[in-house]
Structure 1
Amino acid sequence: MSKKEFQKPPGPKAETTPEPTHSGDAATHAEKPAAGLAFPPPKQAPKRPKWSASRRVLLTGGLATVGLAAAGAEAARSVLDSRNITALATLPPPPEGPTQLNIVAHPDDDLFFINPRLLWAAREGTNLINVCLTAGEANGRNGPDAPTTPDFAGYAAARCLGLRRAWASMIAEDADHPWDRYSIELESGQQVELCTLRDHPGIHMIFVSMWTDLGKVWGGKQRLMGLWERELDAQHVLHASDTAIAHGGKYTREDLHLMLLHFLQHYQPTSVALLDADPDWTDQRKGADQSGYSDHIDHTAAALFGWNAVREWGGRASVESYRGYYNRRWPRNLSQINRVAKGRPLDVYSFLERGECDMDFGCGDLKVTTLGTGAGYGASTHPRHSSGLALVRGKEGVPTPVAVRGMRLSLRQGQEWKPVAGAAVLPSLTVTGRHVFATAPEYRASRHRQRRDIMHYAVDEDQWTNLRNLSSQGNDSRHGGTPAAVELPDGTFVVAVRCPDLRLAVRTRNENGTWAAWTRLSGDMVQPDIAAVINPQGEPEFYGAAADDLVVWRRRGGEWHFERLGLGAHASAPAALWLPGERLVVAAREPETGAVLAHTLDHDQWSSCRLDFDGGVMAPVLASNAEGTIVVTTDNDQGVTAVALTDAEGLQRNAQAVWSIGGPVLVRQPQPWFDGEGRLHLLALGVDGELMSAHQETPSRVMPQQWSVYDTPELSGS
């Protein structure tokens, strides 16, 4: 189809209420909530007193600006010496125990896009390693009252200091808790700054401190994406005024790749957190959005470098990507409790307390002028790959857990994972019967050669089939999401995935095993994850979350039909479940509360039930047994498993279910299943890398309480 024949529709509009200004934005955003979503207007921070530029290093002009080792670091030597920097020839030994390693672009990406999951992991006792690739110097002006002459080194130092204080407030509950700071010599000759939180040896920050955009000095575009796309030979290091990096340097594409690979090999994380390599497409650019995508171009580049390093590393960590700026284009998913938990360290980062500050460059990022998370992208935290734990139908009635560890599909056998040879895939999975569907990415330098192919793995045959996607390669291939699939009673398969215009595309495998071509379906733009079910007539249905409603694509007599359900906006992907008696349940998160909304369709009439609790950030999962018991699983506001048992009658009466909370801090949606006797079993994959399980002793409404490391249960199942 030619470009003239197919024009992309407008993407979801950005909101326009005030939100915190992120590193790439030159001015505070002015956003307002989407129609129908109530949200209190954010309070503006008190106006800060102006501060002077005395002893500040003002950086202007060509090559001299790059020589910050002489200009910036030396001029601030008294400040640097007072911080007691220690030089090390190599990284110190890694901390013991479960470890999460984050790779971000700017000092604050972790606070805006990954938190509150950082806080949840830290409370679990997980070590946190935060690798920040750029200095985040932006326009060199720290806030609206800063001098007009840019001070790139000073603003970068203020942001790094603000980030250290924010993490100290989260972990040590004291923003001024001291850090120990080191300059680390890499084998390639570059130096990075390592900061460890004193008395908390598992909390590390690594500042690589490349220029965010050296084009501000030299002209042109000289960003991290240029390094990824091989349009830039190398990116120079910016020496922040308070840096521990003692000498200059620059990074080639290979240098940066090998450095990230070294960090992964050194720390051997059980969990890796990245930004989003494939942000949502938009034609309505706002703030620091890149052309064609609703996210900062540095976020995308950092994610591409991160995924590429993870793939070569070959470790077995659970890897997650987090949405960036396009959080503001979909309903907000954080509850009030989680907005407060996420907002507190952001306030510390931006130095909103207006206390004493002995740093001329400032004690935080004064560009951020809104209290807390604001009402834009900070008011959501969206992991892209929550559906990375699934269940394959077992030959003897007990389902087999399946997950992606690193980028390798793995099947659980007893207490061990068995990796599947073949495709390297993203963590999002869908399973139907004994067939697994996932996405295999090719992260190539040229944006025109990017690939995201849908892969089908047949467990019994131990065989992969590449189903490609609607767009063979290039930018359009990046707009998909998690595939969803069903195996129909006649033995055919139907797989669906979001297509380049963010609607839906389907592909069918016939009884003889041949796959038909991809077919584009009309309808609304939806979020990346969709739910697949088979209706009582034996036909496939796919449910998605549009910006303002839940929607469905149904096949009837070989023809596809699209319908808006009229259930309003939801803040997560939906789950769907057909029950005996031709009753349908569709559930998803309620915007801004964390509660689960469960809608029941009975004789063409919808009824809705609000399952209220302090919820987290993952979409719900539904399952039922032969007796009609329905289980809803998701995460709570501490990131652990939340389970509710109900039935269709209870949902239709709007009866409140009792939630049970337990298990590890999650990295994937918890998976429920019922055995042949109707007993509930729960599976949870933790940030520590362990697969945990709990089960009922007898069928009842009593929740499983005892969690242990998973081993294949010896019982008959469903």
Structure 2
Amino acid sequence: MTRSVLHVIAHQDDDLYFMNPDLVRSLQDGDRVTTVVLTAGEGDGINADTGDPQRVAVPPDFVGYSTERGCGLRSAYARMVTGDRDRPWRREAVDLVPGFAAERFTLDGHDQVCLYFLQLHMGAPTERGTRTRLHELWEGALRTQATLPVRGGTVGEVQQVTREQVIGALTALLADVRPTMVRAMDPDPEHDGGKEEYVCSDHVDHTTTAQFTLAALARHREAGHYPVVEHYRAYANRFWGYNLDSVATAEKAEYLATYAGLDAPERCAHGTCETCGDRQLGGNPYRSTHMMSTAHRYTPTTTWLRLGPGGRLNAFGVLAGRLAFWTETGPATGEWKGPFVLGDGWLCPTLAVTGLPGGPAELVGLRRQNVVGGGVTVDVVHTAQDPDGGGFSGWRTLENPDWTHGDGRRQREAGVPSAAVDPAGRLHVFVRDYAQGVSLRRRDVSGAWGPWENLGGSFVQDAGAVLVTERGTVELYVPGKNSVWRWHQTEPGGAFLLDDTLKTGRPATGGVTAVDSGEGRTCLYFREAGTQQVMAYRQHPDGRWPGSGAGLGGHGGTGPVAALWAPERGAREAYLAHRGSRGRLVVSLPDRDKEVSGTHWHESGDMLAHAPAMAYDAAGAVTVAVIGTDGRLRVRRQLSPAVGSPLGPWR
């Protein structure tokens, strides 16, 4: 299947800041790449360094600034694909829906690379001296929003565009592009937890663009299409440990410098600009913290592969907002069938997957629902697999910790769930709440659900991991700003106690993995902020925690690390897998010889979505699974169950 990747962004630099290096990897891999820029990005209309005190004397030129930002984006794409920033583009007007045309640019010699500029005003002037905003169109407060044509464009007339036309245009583009993956912006950004009053961390255009994208995706799904969807965090990246290393940030800076016109010729190669590129960025791309991270809004998990009923491995994901389920054809066959796409509503991309060993899976997710007036509700939902491992019951709402609060913005920030079933069958569901602490809801042995409980904590990331210990207790680990928080029980079914003695060092945004390493000791795997190397942090035999983690290398990359403990080996010799710097699977397997210690990292396969998962199959062989950017499940299985056995080929 051909990989087709669609990006839908609000402004001309959003993909360069918030989706790169994933964007450039797709371009380098030769994927069909289409990017849609929803607004004109005209801002204040002044194309001068925002740090220049003389810019106040520069008169605004909204058309000119939008034109120059678009030229900068095309130059960056041309450089990412060909190395030549001035590579020409074929430019044409395209009628997306009746009454709404956009400009399409196709890169010369690379027909698989297209940019669409819809040019909706960020703020259209009114007779009253105010400006209308895009979010008002989404919310129904405006009937139409005007476009802002660029200089020298093929769409020269101002268009008055309705909400329905915007959704219809994006739906038409989805039908034409047939993406296997859609990269979108953050529909529910977190607030600034350091402020007493509510302050949204993100630009309202980012959120509105995500809303329009999801509305179009829902229609695309009804036509029978199920792409992978990834949402990217934007301004909120500044709150958490940076998750790109120096090599990745340097590459990101290189293309942003081209977008900013730092390498532009004196005269625009395409004859459209007075000043090529977005000069508001100034001469140093590194001065913006947007440079330092590229993170998913819904932190991926590594537990979506598990051994289920009948001794068959099951894999779980979300395709176009619905539960997707794959299963082995038989115990340890290595042959798979699926996906079976189930359910209704719209699920966010990350699921918590748990259950008793070998038993039916229990799944917990986040469901988004639009309400009248442009509002949204986000609730935590639960479903259980049938005992034979076939279908699933319907989704049951667990609401969320802030469900009854009068301010609807609070309940939209419910975090990605983490979940665990203890040996007695009690289900524990944890989420980050609005206060950026942790809340818990439990189902007891009788099947009755208790209320949400506040476990406390502050400034925790939206990226928890749960572990059921060999004693039957449940532990929760959540990265914070400078270390990892731990909640644990002293007895099965007991209260949760906070342990703040962990000294992991600053974890990068993107998750933590906890494994039982035997002898009552937990071992954590995560990435170190700023370097992205994989870190191991193993509890001492007496229950205390070490003063720092141990670096394991790991080929860079982002996201959580999948881990399985290897019998009679150490923390460095576990089975480890993660998404490396090229977006591909990177694994480390223990050596056959117990005397050979340390990690042995190897990259394989094509670019993957979210994060990999690992599990032992019915024969005891390790299986690694990924969902590719083509939406397909791919697996590698050990050739034999012996420790040190290599992985077989991709299936």
- With normalisation by structure 1, the TM-score equals 0.80
Question: In 1, distance between residues paired with 2:520 and 2:292?
Answer: 38
Name the SS for the 2:496 alignment partner: strand
Once the two structures are superposed, the pairs formed by residues 114-263 of structure 1 within 5 Å of their partners are 114-144=19-49, 148-215=58-125, 219-263=129-173
Report the counterpart of residue 575 of structure 1 in structure 2: 513
Q: Equivalent residue of 1:281, what SS?
A: coil
Contact kept in structure 2, 1:403 and 1:410, CA below 8 Å: yes
For 1:166, what is the secondary structure of its paired residue? Answer: helix
Letter matched to residue 475 of structure 1: R
CA separation in 2, counterparts of 1:188 and 1:555? Answer: 61
Q: Which moved more, 1:630-639 or 1:602-611?
A: 602-611
- Name 2:397's counterpart in structure 1: 466
Is the alpha carbon distance of 1:216 and 1:275 closer, same or farther for their aligned partners in structure 2, counting shifts above 3 Å?
farther
What is residue 566 of structure 1 aligned with on the other side?
503
Instruction: Provide the C-alpha distance between the structure 2 equivalents of 1:342 and 1:223, rounded to a whole number of angstroms.
Output: 30
Compute the displacement of 1:375 (Å): 5.2
Paired with 1:601 and 1:386, the residues of 2 have a C-alpha distance of 25
Cα distance between partner residues in 1 of 2:156 and 2:236: 37
1:306 to 213, 219, 228: 213
Question: 1:667–1:686: 8 Å Cα contact kept in structure 2?
Answer: yes
| Counterpart AA for 1:469 | N
2:584 equivalent among 625, 630, 640:
640
The yes-or-no answer on 1:481 pairing with 2:415 is yes
Alpha-carbon deviations, 1:132-170, whole Å to 9, x = none? 000100111101466621100000000000000000000
**Aligned partner of 2:344: which letter?**
G
Cα deviation, residue 218, structure 1 = 5.2
From 192, 202, 216, the counterpart of 1:295: 202
- Are the counterparts in 1 of residues 346 and 369 from structure 2 also a CA contact under 8 Å? no
| Partner secondary structure for residue 260 of structure 1 | helix
Report the alpha carbon displacement of residue 386 of structure 1 after superposing the two structures with TM: 5.1
* 1:380-403 deviation line (CA, Å, top 9, x unaligned): 000234526712432122321111
Structure-2 separation of matches of 1:524 and 1:586? 20
Shift of residue 646, structure 1, vs aligned partner: 4.6
The offset of 1:189, in angstroms, is 1.0
**Residues 245 and 385 (structure 1), Cα distance of their counterparts in 2 relative to 1, 3 Å cut:** same
- 1:438 corresponds in structure 2 to 365
Residues 314-393 of structure 1 aligned to structure 2 (within 5 Å): 314=221, 315-358=225-268, 359-374=272-287, 376-385=289-298, 387=300, 390-393=304-307
Gap runs ≥5 in structure 2: 328-335, 356-360
Residue 561 of structure 2 corresponds to 620
Measure the CA separation in 1 of the matches of 2:624 and 2:193: 42
2:14 maps to 109
Residue 592 of structure 1 deviates from its aligned partner by 1.1
Match of 1:704 among 612, 636, 647: 647
Counterparts of 2:231 and 2:446, CA distance in 1:
37
Displacement of 1:217: 8.0
Matched, 1:99 2:4: yes
Contact residue 479 and residue 502 of structure 1 kept, 8 A? no
Asked whether the equivalents of residues 388 and 403 of structure 1 are also in contact (C-alpha less than 8 Å), the reply is no
Instruction: Give the residue type in structure 1 aligned to 2:214.
Output: W
SS of residue matched to 1:586: strand
| Residue deviations 1:45-71 (CA, integer Å, cap 9, x gap) | xxxxxxxxxxxxxxxxxxxxxxxxxxx
Q: Alpha-carbon deviation of 1:705?
A: 5.5
Matches of 2:632 and 2:143, distance apart in 1: 41
**Partner letter of residue 664 of structure 1?**
D
Residue matched to 1:75: none
Equivalent residue number for residue 611 of structure 1:
552
Secondary structure at the counterpart of residue 667 of structure 1: strand
What is the DSSP-based 3-state SS (H/G/I as helix, E as strand, rest coil) of the residue aligned with 1:415? strand
Pair 1:354–1:171, CA change in 2 (3 A):
closer
Relative to structure 1, the CA distance from residue 297 to residue 677 in structure 2 (aligned partners, 3 Å threshold; closer, same or farther) is: same
> Which is further off, 168-177 or 183-192?
183-192
AA aligned to 1:667 is: A
| 2:339 alignment partner in structure 1 | 417
Sort the Cα spacing of 1:370 and 1:598 in 2 relative to 1 into closer, same or farther, 3 A.
farther
TM-score scaled to structure 2, two decimals?
0.88
Aligned to 1:504: 438
Give the letter for the 1:387 counterpart. P
Question: 1:320·1:427 contact (CA, 8 Å) conserved in 2?
Answer: yes
Deviation at 1:489, TM superposition (A): 0.7
SS of 2:141's partner is: coil
Aligned residue pair count: 606
Q: Is the 8 A contact 1:121 1:687 kept in 2?
A: no
Partner in structure 2 of residue 456 of structure 1:
382
CA distance in 2, matches of 1:123, 1:700: 36
Q: Distance in 1 between matches of 2:129 and 2:183?
A: 33
Superposed displacement of residue 654, structure 1 = 13
Q: How far apart, in 1, do the equivalents of 2:249 and 2:243 lie?
A: 9
Structure 2 residue identity aligned to 1:534: V
Structure-2 residue corresponding to 1:60: none
Does the Cα contact within 8 Å between 1:386 and 1:669 map onto a contact in 2? no
Q: Deviations over 1:296-352 (max 9, x none)?
A: 111111111112221232121110000101111111110111112211110100011
Tell me which stretches of 4 or more aligned residues in structure 1 moved more than 4 Å. 215-218, 283-286, 625-629
Note the C-alpha offset of 1:453: 0.9
Q: Which residue of 2 aligns with 1:695?
A: 637
Q: Secondary structure at the match of 1:452?
A: strand
Q: Which moved more, 1:237-246 or 1:675-684?
A: 675-684
- Alignment match, 1:400: 314
3-state secondary structure, aligned to 1:186: strand
TM-superposed CA distance for 1:536, in Å, is 3.3
Identity over aligned pairs, percent: 28
Residue-by-residue CA offset, 1:453-482 (whole Å, 9 max, x unaligned): 111111117212111111227111111221
User: Matches of 1:293 and 1:254 in 2, distance apart?
Assistant: 26
Q: Is the 8 A contact 2:97 2:172 kept in 1?
A: no
Could you tell me which amino acid in structure 1 is paired with residue 180 of structure 2? T
Q: 2:331 aligns to what? A: none
Residue 86 of structure 1 is matched in structure 2 by none
After superposition, the Cα gap between the structure-2 partners of 1:597 and 1:129, relative to the gap in structure 1 and judged at 3 Å, is same
| Alignment partner of 1:680 is 2:607 | no
Q: 1:171 to 1:556 in 2, by over 3 A?
A: same
Q: Indicate the residue corresponding to 2:575 in structure 1.
A: 631
Secondary structure of 1:556 counterpart = coil
Kept in 1: contact 2:305–2:625 (CA 8 A): no
Contact preservation (8 Å) 1:631, 1:643: yes
CA distance, structure 2, for counterparts of residue 220 and residue 498 of structure 1: 38
Contact 1:588 1:597 in 2 (8 A): yes
Kindly provide the amino acid, as one letter, of the partner of residue 384 in structure 2.
A
What is the correspondence of 1:14-29 to structure 2 with a 5 Å cutoff?
none
Cα drift, residue 354 of structure 1: 4.8
Counterpart Cα distance in 1 of 2:633 and 2:468: 29
Deviations 1:274-305 (A, max 9, x none): 0101111116579xxx9621111111111111
CA drift of 1:503 comes to: 0.8
The one-character-per-residue Cα deviations of 1:612-631 (angstroms, maximum 9, x if unpaired) are 13311111122235555621
Distance 1:217 1:277, change over 3 A: farther
1:101, 1:128 within 8 Å by CA — same for their partners in 2? yes
Change (3 A) 1:532 1:347: same
SS at match of 1:204: strand
Give the Cα–Cα distance (whole angstroms) in 2 for the partners of residues 221 and 508 of structure 1: 48
